[in-house]
Structure 1
Amino acid sequence: MPISPNQGSTGGGFAATLTGTGLAGATVVRFGSKPATITATSPTSVSVVAPSGAGVVDTTVTTPGGTSNPVPFHYVLPPVILDVSPASGPLAGGSTVTVTGRNLTTATSVLFGDTAVTPTVLSDSELTAVSPAHAAGDVALVVTAQGGTATASGTFAFVAAPTVTGFSPVSGLAAGGTLVDITGTALATTTEVTFGSVPATFAVLSDTRVAAVAPSQSPGTVTITLTTTGGSEAAPGGFLYQL
């Protein structure tokens, strides 16, 4: 006599169905010692709303003809979200987001606002989800598992691709160390600044300004590229390294 689903939240309140034979007129369905609320019966099935519980319990059906064999049911703790990284992504979607926490093994979906995606569960404490396409703005991130739902403490931001309008100064010594002020829009989530192919130390000053320290390079002109969680953008013109 199987039960579906065979696991659920410790808080109860979810629907479950037991199937078998001789179930007509079922009077009691118990999850361990607790009775469930019967919502429908037939000769081959009994539908119930499960009570709260913990651990693994025996589920039985009692009819006028007797009590069924026990079927194990697993109570699952609700999921807990401890961290979401990155906390933002591009409007086009496609960003792999890592969620860490507890009780994530049975996760079945991750909601970005009102859009659900199927997660990849890596362990009981970690899963990944690929962000969907979405309009710009902040949305709630919610994980749904057999044990219930959990909402991240912060929001997930869908951010526009950056634009880089300019930088100053436009040249510096080949030895590096020049402080370069980069201006543009949607720069707040900057994750990398490169001079040519060389990463630079940087600080985000605002959504429109990033300060970067030019790394050492051979003399010549290189492109400054700024990467955010919304995408990448090359600055207009080049930065000239001089002896």
Structure 2
Amino acid sequence: YCSSPELSFEFVDNLLVTSILPMSGLVSGGTVILVKGENFLPNSMLLCKFGEAEVEGRLISDTQVECISPNTSIADASRVVALSLSTNGVDFVSGPDFIFYEEISVSSLTPSMGPIEGGTLARIHGSNFIYSEFLRCKFGSNVAVASFISVEEIACIVPPREQAGNVSLSLSNNGVDFFPSSLTFQYYESVKVHSLWPKHGKASGGTSVTIAGARFENTESLSCMFGIEIVSGSFVSTEEITCVAPALTSSIAYFAAVEISLNGYDFTTDGVLYEYVDDAALLSVSPVSGPTSGGSAVTLTGTNFVGSDTPLCRFGDVTVAGLLLSLSEIECVTPPMSNRGISSST
């Protein structure tokens, strides 16, 4: 007969795993995972298992355990595995799935600039994006929620920033592990439109319009919008640009707000109006002759003489200011001419 020490076996309440955060991480491992549930007990055999890979867990409380995702070698760009937990090293309780993904790479950002107020819809192309509610973009230190489009494209609403300047772009599939990129986003101060000249132009388009405002920049995407029609702009100075008005179409009202964009996407909302008028037509001139010394009052009769207090008359190569009498009559005084002959009036 031999005696042996008395051994004990402890019965414990069943484990319950309710959530994990984040729910994804790099295939190279190292992501800190917070596992939440019930009946977590201190035990030297506390283990987390990602698929078949086991790692030690760290007890935070009876409802929280921390695990670090292992390095796993996989062939696919992403892989879903079950995450399970054990307090005795033998009996594992399954929790939510965990996704392993490859490192994100970024190839392009469009547009690459926007106003400091934020709100720019930025599209980012690259690889290894995953569909996740925790997909994020980071502009400098400001984080924005991202929308999944495909494994090669996501979209983000750029957050606001207090001052203009360039910031770095980084991305995350899980909201925790951010991947830096070589791309930057340029914040600029908001553009303003103050006035237009001329304020109206012919319905067939082609009028060169000078736009006065503030904080214009010479960018590749400098644009003007007439109503909803967008045309390219030409930089003159930080306070002036020019644009050629597009033709009046069914999508443009006769009065169209003219707005400016530095990036081709975000336009001003100042509401300065440009008026489209039907093309003017010159029907007759009276009198039809006068002395070369000039000074003859000439009445031009036609249609659609609209919108200007100072219409212009051209005799040959000489332009003079006229007086608008009505929508069908303009009076001009002939300039001195060096030679006799016929000069056209327009």
Query: Fold-level match, TM-score > 0.5?
Result: yes
The structure-2 alpha-carbon separation of the partners of 1:74 and 1:165, relative to structure 1 and needing over 3 Å to count, comes to same
Deviation at 1:154?
A: 2.7
SS class of match (1:74):
strand
Counterpart of 1:204 in structure 2: which amino acid? L
- Which piece of structure 1 moves more, 39-48 or 88-97? 39-48
Q: How far apart, in 2, do the equivalents of 1:111 and 1:97 lie?
A: 12
Q: How large is the RMSD of aligned CA atoms in angstroms?
A: 3.6
The Cα of 1:50 is off from its aligned counterpart by: 2.0
Structure 1 pair 30–171 and aligned structure 2 pair: CA distance change class (3 A): closer
* 1:155 alignment partner AA: Y
> Is 1:159 aligned with 2:159?
no
- On the 8 A contact 1:193/1:224 being kept in 2, the answer is no
- Counterpart residue type for residue 176 of structure 1: G
State how far apart, in whole Å, the 2-side matches of 1:103 and 1:159 are. 31
Q: 1:104 to 1:85 in 2, by over 3 A?
A: farther
1:105 alignment partner in structure 2: 218
The answer to whether 1:11 aligns with 2:122 is: no
- Does the aligned pair in 1 maintain the 2:311–2:321 contact within 8 Å? no
- Are the counterparts in 2 of residues 113 and 141 from structure 1 also a CA contact under 8 Å? yes
Q: 2:303 is matched with which residue: 172, 185, 195?
A: 185
CA distance in 2, matches of 1:34, 1:219: 72
Q: Is the 8 A contact 2:119 2:159 kept in 1?
A: yes
Against the structure 1 CA distance between its residues 216 and 32, is the aligned structure 2 distance closer, same or farther, given a 3 Å change threshold?
Answer: closer
Letter in 1 for 2:122: A
Residue 104 of structure 1 and its aligned partner are, at CA, apart by 4.2
Deviations 1:74-132 (A, max 9, x none): 11223222333333333332233333333343444322233322334455444333322
**1:189-231 C-alpha deviation (Å, 9 max, x unpaired):** 46432345544443223322322222234796644512xxxxx
Q: Is the 8 A contact 1:83 1:152 kept in 2?
A: no
1:205 to 325, 330, 345: 325
Counterpart amino acid of 1:148? D
**Structure-to-structure mapping, 1:128-143, within 5 angstroms:** 128-134=242-248, 137-143=254-260
Offset, 1:141 = 2.0
Query: What secondary structure is seen at the aligned counterpart in 2 of 1:36?
Result: strand
What is the aligned counterpart of 2:148 among 40, 52, 57? 40
Give distance in 2, aligned partners of 1:192 and 1:155.
Answer: 19
Q: Looking at both structures, which has the greater relative contact order when contacts are Cα pairs under 8 Å and sequence separation is at least 6? A: 1
Contact 2:203 2:276 in 1 (8 A): no
SS in 2 for 1:187: coil
Equivalent AA in structure 2 for residue 184 of structure 1 = G
Please say if residues 163 and 186 of structure 1, whose CA atoms lie closer than 8 Å, have aligned partners that are also in contact.
Answer: no
Q: Which amino acid aligns with 2:255?
A: D
The letter of the residue matching 1:59 is: L
Please tell me whether the aligned partners of residues 216 and 238 of structure 2 are also in contact (alpha carbons under 8 angstroms): yes
TM-score normalised by the chain length of structure 1: 0.70
State the secondary structure of the residue aligned to 1:111. Answer: strand
Q: Is the 8 A contact 1:84 1:152 kept in 2?
A: no
Secondary structure in structure 1 of the residue aligned to 2:186: strand
Higher strand share: 1
Structure 2 stretches of 5 or more lacking a match?
Answer: 1-104
Say whether residues 1:76 and 2:222 are aligned partners. Answer: no
**Structure number, greater radius of gyration:** 2
CA distance in 1, matches of 2:260, 2:333: 40
Aligned to 1:230: none
